[in-house]
Structure 1
Amino acid sequence: MNKLRQLIISTTASLMVFAMGTFGYMFIEKWDLMDSIYMTALTLGSVGYSEVHPLSFNGRIFTTILIISGVGLVMYLAGVVVQFVVEGEIRAILGRRKLDKSINRLKDHYIICGYGRIGRTLCRQINEESAQIIVLEKSEELVPVLEKDKMLYIQGDASSESTLIKAGIHRAKAIVTALATDTDNVFLVLTARQLNPDIYIMARAGSQNVKSKLLAAGANRVESPYDVGAVSMALKLLRPSVSNFLDIALSRKQRAIQIEEIRISPKSKIINIMLKDSGIRQNYNLIIIAIKKKDGEMIFNPSFETFMEEGDTVIAMGRASSLKQFNEELNPQ
């Protein structure tokens, strides 16, 4: 902003000096407008051309004053313009390099393809839990929005192999395809699965017909924003209390109670121990809603004799501080 202010002030001052020079020659020498403009330009530009017409004594004094006051100002304006342009380009280059370095350091991150309404809302939700996000967006118009939101991003075609590789797809934990059309999302899923057979892919579907195609292309999960929104609205109408409870439990804004999923690591002390002997209820005051086994079986409201094994995922509900302590217990450093 300081450079921009200097540019505006120096430009305005230079134009005022130029106008004063023009009208000065018209008044003192009685020249026409074009000759006065030309003479002023020669004087301020210091190009060394001869006068348009022979100058009178007063005209020479005026020209001397114009040279002393105006040439330095014009040179200063030229310097500000060059500095403004060069520093702007350098700043853009350095900013891009800083972004690239941050992207190259990412590991187990989330790649969000598309920064429209869905992509932007998704990034906000993930940001509450993890800052390991990179956005791939094709539209140049959304770059200022990405910079305003302080997102790591690559401006380019998300379905391009080079763009995905630059985004670190081989190191990524998951990728979300939230492009505008189903065709683009299907092609993106195919490309992503080819580059990284193990990555988790969540795809956006605009219609029911394309869900099977996205799954066949390699998506692990397909979601339709319209279906999800309709289900949420119906739940709020039919079971408002349940909906309010879930909003509180699943939101990171309310720290009183949350629902969390925690994977049991090989270093955990509760491996092969029954739920009743784990001390979860007594030590952490948590409610175990379900346990997802390694084979994908989901045990809801597990009995007190359920064994917890390595690789199981525990879905627990309780205070955020208690969930954090429990996570440290299941995943010791």
Structure 2
Amino acid sequence: MARSNVPIVANRWLLRRVARPVLALLGVVACGVGGFVYIGGVSLVEAAFWLLDPSSIALYYQTASGPVDRVKTFAIVVRVALVGALLWTGETALTAAFGGQIQEELKRVKNQRERASVEDHVIICGYGMFGQTVAERAREQGREVVVIERDPTQYERVLDDGFLGVEGDAKHEGVLQDAGVDRASSLVAAIDDSNANIQIALLATQLAPHLTVVVRVGDETYESVARHAGADEVIIPEVAGGEQVLERW
């Protein structure tokens, strides 16, 4: 799957929300200037000045003839629209500043920057209970961790827990590349779906043949398939848990 050339930030809440009122404000200004030129028959410079200072309209028509009533009515409409657009823009800025959105954006930008430079790290696909446990153990060992999670709520938890993250489906080439698969030392396919984990292992070993790949599967019937897909180690949580219980007896 080809990676998009569109910057990730282009899809962010903050940019979209700020862009709408700004574009609306610019639209009001453009319509106002254009309207004054068309109705009043004046130059662009004069029309722009009228938009800034509507009182200059009356002064203009003291020495010139024209549809003064129509121009004044249009000026009132433009003025109201301009005030509304300005209020909308201001409300958006306040919401972003005091609603925590700026902090969220900064956190995401920091995550992207640090993720782009990390090397010899562990990629964990899926942040369920199994993935969380592996991530914590890797951090305790002093290893860098990048978590891939497609669920937005779980992805926010990844960042809140202090891990680097990529929001997306690990079965896609672009997502694995964003996680730095070519620079990673190992990958753990930790999703609660054996087929998905096997697909991830197959793609990851194609992109980075040097990678050590650990695959979680639901039962032993998937083990041979996972190894054929490139898994260096296959984990069956239920079996591993049972063996730990026996070791403690």
Instruction: Give the C-alpha shift of residue 153 in structure 1.
Output: 0.6
2:96 maps to what in 1?
85
1:104 maps to what in 2?
116
Asked if residue 140 in structure 1 is aligned to residue 174 in structure 2, the reply is no
5 Å-filtered alignment, 1:13-162, equals 79=90, 82-85=93-96, 88-162=100-174
1:207–1:89 CA distance, 2 compared to 1 (3 A)? same
1:81–1:170 CA distance, 2 compared to 1 (3 A)? closer
Letter in 2 for 1:95: K
- Normalised TM-score (structure 1): 0.46
Task: Determine helix, strand or coil for the equivalent of 1:206.
Answer: coil
Kindly tell me the number of residue pairs found equivalent between the two proteins.
163
Compare CA radii of gyration and give the structure with the larger one. 1
Asked if residue 224 in structure 1 is aligned to residue 236 in structure 2, the reply is yes
Instruction: Give the C-alpha shift of residue 131 in structure 1.
Output: 4.0
User: 1 CA distance for matches of 2:216 and 2:156?
Assistant: 24
In structure 2, stretches of 5+ residues that fail to align are: 1-85
Asked if residue 186 in structure 1 is aligned to residue 198 in structure 2, the reply is yes
Q: Which has the higher contact order (CA 8 A, sep 6+)?
A: 2
User: 1 CA distance for matches of 2:241 and 2:141?
Assistant: 22
Letter in 1 for 2:207: L
Letter in 2 for 1:168: G
Task: Determine helix, strand or coil for the equivalent of 1:168.
Answer: coil
1:174 maps to what in 2?
186
Q: As a proportion of its length, which structure holds more helix?
A: 2
- 1:242-278: per-residue Cα shift (whole Å, max 9, x none)? xxxxxxxxxxxxxxxxxxxxxxxxxxxxxxxxxxxxx
1:61 maps to what in 2?
none
User: 1 CA distance for matches of 2:92 and 2:178?
Assistant: 35
Q: 1:199 aligns with which of 203, 211, 219?
A: 211
Q: Cα RMSD (Å) of the superposition?
A: 2.1
5 Å-filtered alignment, 1:208-287, equals 208-237=220-249
- Normalised TM-score (structure 2): 0.61
Instruction: Give the C-alpha shift of residue 112 in structure 1.
Output: 0.5
User: 2 CA distance for matches of 1:177 and 1:171?
Assistant: 17
User: 2 CA distance for matches of 1:127 and 1:161?
Assistant: 25
Q: As a proportion of its length, which structure holds more strand?
A: 1
